[in-house]
Amino acid sequence: MLTVNHLAKSYDGEKKSLTDVSFSVRSGEVTVIIGPSGAGKTTILRSINQLIRDDEGEILFDQIDMRQLNRVQLRRARSHIGMIFQSYNLIEPLTAIENVLHGCLGTKSNFAGIFSIYNNREKEEALKLLQKVGLEEFAYQQCRNLSGGQKQRVGIARALMQHPKIILCDEPIASLDPKSTITVMDILRGLAVNDGISVLINLHQVDIAREYADHVIGINNGQVVFDDRTQALSDAAITGIYRKNANLEGSLVHES
Ligand SMILES: Nc1ncnc2c1ncn2[C@@H]1O[C@H](COP(=O)(O)OP(=O)(O)OP(=O)(O)O)[C@@H](O)[C@H]1O
């Protein structure tokens, strides 16, 4: 459902942040990207929905190359791609349900969007999604009064409001305590297993990747150095992914 081919990116025109990155994400699976700080994980994720424009390569989302789309086509394609951020990216003074409703802005006219005009069906759906993530009783609370874990669950409900085919999660648990981490990861895994949504997650926590991923991509220094099912993520493979200049010393890429 998502295939990245030969993706390359340089922010300054000199140093390459990504060099020839290729991998695929399967439908209804949790795919986790791990790798050292600065390896290029966020750059990959933000390239997929073209929040940053990459220099070379192909990003095939349902067979359509995201890099070739015009502004209108890109907006339409993005409406099927949910995004979850480490810092939640909620509008803190608004209520949980108002934030969730913002998930369907991509499908609205500019007028309806600017004036936040939502119909009853959308409001009912937003409430159902808050129920799905266990937050119905917080629907009318301002997000600034919610805990980090609760905020992230609002972020997930907002992404679901888009009816996404894939959800991209950039370090979704980096700011959370262990209990909230489990809650959020269980929800994300449930979306893949029960709802058939593909979930692509950047993570620093290898133990969580091992527990929740179906497939793992290891990135080091802008290159894919591991690409295999989670069962193949041995201690040696992890050491390889995190070693300095792994890609210069020999790749550990396993194509399954
Ligand atoms: N806006 C930017 N301008 C210039 N260089 C950037 C920019 N964003 C990222 N980089 C560089 O690109 C490389 C990859 O960064 P990226 O944030 O994608 O890595 P990461 O694996 O997500 O790191 P972390 O795990 O610390 O979030 C790094 O060398 C980083 O310094």
Tell me how far CA of residue 206 lies from CA of 77, 216, 229, 233, 237, in angstroms.
31, 10, 14, 9, 11
What is the three-class DSSP state of 43? Answer: helix
Q: How far apart are CA 36 and CA 56, in angstroms?
A: 23
- For atom 12 of ligand 1, which residue has the closest CA? 17
Tell me how far CA of residue 226 lies from CA of 21, 107, 206, 239, 244, in angstroms.
11, 37, 13, 11, 14
Region 37-55: what's the mean pLDDT? 93
Pocket residue to mutate for ligand 1, from 10, 11, 85, 206, most atoms within 8 A of Cβ: 11
Pocket residue to mutate for ligand 1, from 43, 175, 219, most atoms within 8 A of Cβ: 43
Q: How confident is the model at residue 111 (pLDDT cuts 50, 70, 90)?
A: low
Of all atoms in ligand 1, which is nearest to the CA of residue 9? 12
Q: How far is the CA of 31 from the centre of ligand 1 (A)?
A: 20
- For atom 23 of ligand 1, which residue has the closest CA? 38
Q: How far is the CA of 129 from the centre of ligand 1 (A)?
A: 33
149 and 170 housed in the same domain = no
Q: How far apart are CA 76 and CA 70, in angstroms?
A: 10
User: Domain span at residue 234?
Assistant: 1-80+164-244
Phi then psi dihedrals of residue 124, to 5 deg: -65, -40
255 has pLDDT over 50 = no
Pocket residue to mutate for ligand 1, from 33, 41, 86, 220, most atoms within 8 A of Cβ: 41
- Nearest alpha carbon to residue 36 among 250, 253, 240: 240
Amino acid at 63: Q
201: in domain: yes
* Strands of 30-34's sheet in order across: 81-85, 166-170, 198-202, 30-34, 215-220, 223-229
250: in domain: no
Predicted pLDDT of residue 6: 96
142: in domain: yes
Predicted pLDDT of residue 117: 79
Q: How far apart are CA 229 and CA 213, in angstroms?
A: 8
What is the three-class DSSP state of 199? Answer: strand
Predicted pLDDT of residue 249: 46
For 74-133, give the DSSP string.
Answer: HHHHHTTEEEEETT----TTSBHHHHHHGGGGGGS-HHHHHTT---HHHHHHHHHHHHHT
pTM of the model: 0.92
Phi then psi dihedrals of residue 74, to 5 deg: -65, -40
The number of beta carbons lying within 10 Å of the beta carbon of residue 223 is 22
CATH assignment of the domain containing 9? 3.40.50.300
Residue where one domain finishes, among candidates 141, 163, 185:
163
- For atom 2 of ligand 1, which residue has the closest CA? 11
Q: How far apart are CA 154 and CA 150, in angstroms?
A: 6
41 has pLDDT over 60 = yes
178 and 62 housed in the same domain = yes
H/E stretch holding 191: helix 178-195
253: in domain: no
Residue where one domain finishes, among candidates 108, 133, 163:
163
> Domains in the chain: how many in total?
2
**Structure token digits, residue 223:** 């290159």
1 and 38 housed in the same domain = yes
| pLDDT, tens digit (0-9, with 9 covering 90-100), for 57-103 | 999 999 999 999 999 999 889 999 999 999 999 999 999 999 999 99
> What residues flank ligand 1, with Cβ below 6 Å?
11, 17, 35, 37-43
Contact between residue 201 and residue 41 where contact means Cβ atoms under 8 Å apart: no
Percent with pLDDT over 90 in the chain: 84
| pLDDT, tens digit (0-9, with 9 covering 90-100), for 181-219 | 999 999 999 999 999 999 999 999 999 999 999 999 999
The vertex-64 CA angle with 24 and 218, nearest 5°, equals 20
- For atom 26 of ligand 1, which residue has the closest CA? 37
159: in domain: yes
- For atom 9 of ligand 1, which residue has the closest CA? 43
